[in-house]
Amino acid sequence: MLMKSLMNALLLLCMLFAVSSKADVKSDTKYQSARVQGPISRFESYSFGDFGDSVRAFQTNFKKMYYADGKLKKAKNDTPRMMDFYYGENKKKQPQGKGLMEYGNGDRYIGQWEMGKKSGYGKMVYKNGDVYEGNWKNDKRVGQGTLMRNNRDKSLYSFDDNRVRNDGEPVQFSGFWEDDALHSGKATCGDYSFVGTFNSDLGLDEGTRTYHRYLEERGKFKSSRSESKNHIEKYDFVDGTAKYDYSYYKFSGTVKDGQIYSGDFEYMENYKYMSGTISERSFSGNIAFFYNEDFESLFNYKGSWKNGMPVNGSGYIVLDQKIDTVPKTRPENKNVYMNYFKNSGKPLQVNAETIVPFQVTKQNNTYHINFTNWNENTSFIAKTPKEFNNILEERADTIHAAIVARELAEKKAAQEAERQRRIANINWDKTIDHFEFFVVELDKAWTKILRGYDVENTTFTIYMLMANYPKLLDELEYAGYKPMTKAQENRLNKLMKKAEALMSKYNYY
């Protein structure tokens, strides 16, 4: 009887414990549900806010499990750290509903699951710092989504002449994804943006790329390096229309095969300036450049230009002469710099005696140059811009030297003829009389000075005489001190000796 009472009491105790445990489980489930809804309420709208808060909420409110061989298992203390750990809702040992997966490679995902696969809306934070937030299906990014990708290589924008740096700025890709790849949408990196379609590795395919008001490219893009992936700055514009509006570079027109094809063009650097139009990759307009950093030998040309060399036009070169007040670095004000290149044939602010205008035509590889001011012609073959420049300057130097020598000889001959003409026409008696008057008056003045007579007025007289003395000497020197007769020559020699003696006294005094 006693044994039966003990058994009944034990059974009743077990029943009460079972009811109590069942009540506790229900209460705990309800409590867990309430706690989950609190800290991660933002998760329900799938706007995650602070990702770390959401991670801690899942870790706090769900048991830790690991995912291996396609199944969820209870995590133990000895479970390897490199396993994939899961916190969240599950069904049939599979992530199902909402949950957090911490992958062994360092990636973390919070979002919706369907039988162990990411499906629905979710956010993936990759170990390398990239972040994707958007729609998933069967573990792949599908539908609308945004990827914030680190610009890890910190490279320069290849299309921007190395002048704009966006080191380390993230690239954001947003739009419509298909089969884990972005198909169409928008990419931004710093102040650059692209709207269009993408290739399989997030590379720019076809669309419009812009940078403030400075750059707009519409058309096809292509990777500039075979090894480059996933970086907006690694893709160059190859076909379409483009507009560039930088202070040093302006273009509006078409691009083919990655090269400017046609349109309006202006370019400026330290030693070069171009302004004109491009048609089928051939330039027409004004081009000017200095040959070296000392701003010597300015070349200015206006006409058609192809493959870096003139075709048909005119211009001038300035040989071996410094340009006035040229800065050693490019001025901030472009107009100051451009003044050295404008107005082909008429240099601005050029201090040069050797300005060589020319006209040029080209047939095959043969250039025909006419140096217009000299009425001289030359022809030569040049295959490269450097070869053309060197030959042109050499020919101009040679022709110029010959012409200068000829002009100098003609000038000397003209001067000698003029001297002989003046000698023939000079009235030597009158000239010697003038010189004698100077000597006599100077002698009188000097005598008065020595005797102390009227020193002030006499000194003034000497000053007046001395003012005329250079003119007398110039006239005699120009005539070669060669009077027409021997008597005139003797008379002049005596006066010259006396004048020299008086001058010596005057200088000593």
Most confident of 4-18, 35-49, 448-462: 448-462
Average pLDDT estimate for 289-300: 63
Q: How confident is the model at residue 178 (pLDDT cuts 50, 70, 90)?
A: very high
Higher-scoring residue by pLDDT: 38, 352:
352
CATH class for the region spanning 38-138: alpha beta
Residue 124 has pLDDT above 70, yes or no: yes
- The DSSP bridge partners found for residue 354 are none
Contact 92, 110 (CB under 8 A): no
With contact defined as beta carbons under 8 Å apart, do 219 and 239 qualify?
Answer: yes
Of 195, 202, 196, the closest CA to residue 180 belongs to: 202
Confidence at residue 202, expressed as pLDDT on a 0 to 100 scale? 84
Share of the chain above pLDDT 90, in %: 27
**Cα separation values, 115 from 54, 103, 108, 112, Å:** 22, 17, 18, 10
Q: How does pLDDT run across 467-489, given as a tens digit for each residue?
A: 777 777 777 776 666 777 788 88
Contact 166, 144 (CB under 8 A): no
Q: How far apart are CA 494 and CA 222, in angstroms?
A: 97
pLDDT at 337 over 90: no
Which pLDDT band, with edges at 50, 70 and 90, does 296 fall under? low
**What percentage of the chain reaches a pLDDT higher than 70?**
72
Range among 247-251, 252-256, 404-408 with highest mean pLDDT value: 252-256
Q: Which residues pair with 214 in a beta bridge?
A: none
Q: What is the DSSP letter of 396?
A: H
Mean pLDDT on 169-175? 87
Q: Which range has the worst mean pLDDT, 282-286, 321-325, 441-445, 458-462? A: 321-325
Give which of 465, 464, 458, 460 is closest to 499, Cα–Cα. 465
pLDDT of residue 159 exceeding 50:
no
Q: What pLDDT shows up at residue 19?
A: 33
Query: Average pLDDT for residues 192-209, to the nearest whole number?
Result: 89
Is pLDDT above 50 for 347? Answer: no
251 pLDDT exceeds 90?
A: yes
For 82-115, the pLDDT digits (tens) are 899 999 999 999 999 999 999 999 999 999 999 9
Instruction: Give pLDDT, residue 371.
Output: 84
Q: Is residue 260 over pLDDT 50?
A: yes
For residue 59, give the nearest of 106, 107, 102, 123 by alpha carbon. 102
* pLDDT of amino acid 123: 95
Residue 341 has pLDDT above 80, yes or no: no
pLDDT for residue 488: 81
Q: Confidence class of residue 228 from pLDDT cuts 50, 70 and 90? A: very low
In this prediction, residue 94 carries a pLDDT of: 94
Residue 385 banded pLDDT, cuts 50, 70, 90: confident
pLDDT score for 469? 77
Per-residue exposure over 8-42, b if at least 16 CB sit within 10 Å of its own CB, e if not = eeeeeeeeeeeeeeeeeeeeeeeeeeeebeeebee
Higher-pLDDT residue of 125, 337: 125
pLDDT above 80: residue 334? no
3-class DSSP state for residue 88? strand
Round to whole Å and give the CA distance between 182 and 62.
Answer: 33
Q: Which of 33-47, 68-82, 251-265 has the lowest mean pLDDT?
A: 33-47
Q: If pLDDT is split at 50, 70 and 90, which confidence band does 289 have?
A: confident
Check pLDDT > 70 for residue 18.
Answer: no
Q: Tell me the one-letter amino acid at 315.
A: G
Per DSSP, the three-state class of 104 is: coil
What are the φ and ψ backbone dihedral angles of 367, each rounded to 5 degrees?
-100, 135
pLDDT digits 0-9 by tens, 403-458: 778 888 999 999 888 777 766 656 777 788 888 888 888 888 878 877 777 777 77
How many beta carbons lie within 10 A of that of residue 177, not counting itself? 26
Tokens 């893009």 belong to 221
Mean pLDDT of 163-177: 73
pLDDT of residue 43 exceeding 70, the answer is no
**Model confidence at 143, in pLDDT bands (50, 70, 90)?**
very high
User: Would you give the distance in Å from CA 261 to the centre of its chain?
Assistant: 21
Residues 6+ apart with CB under 8 A from 58: 40, 87, 88, 99, 100, 110
Helices (H) and strands (E) in the chain, counts: 8, 23
Q: What pLDDT was estimated at residue 150?
A: 76
What average pLDDT does the segment 58-63 reach?
92
pTM, full prediction: 0.60
Asked if residue 59 lies in contact with residue 87, where contact means CB atoms within 8 angstroms, the answer is yes
- Coil/strand/helix, residue 230: coil
Nearest to 331 by CA among 288, 289, 268, 274: 268
* Bigger pLDDT: 277 vs 489: 277
Query: What mean pLDDT value characterizes the chain?
Result: 76
Q: How far apart are CA 446 and CA 462, in angstroms?
A: 8
Three-state secondary-structure class, residue 398: helix
Domain assignments of the chain as residue spans, ordered by start: 38-138, 426-508
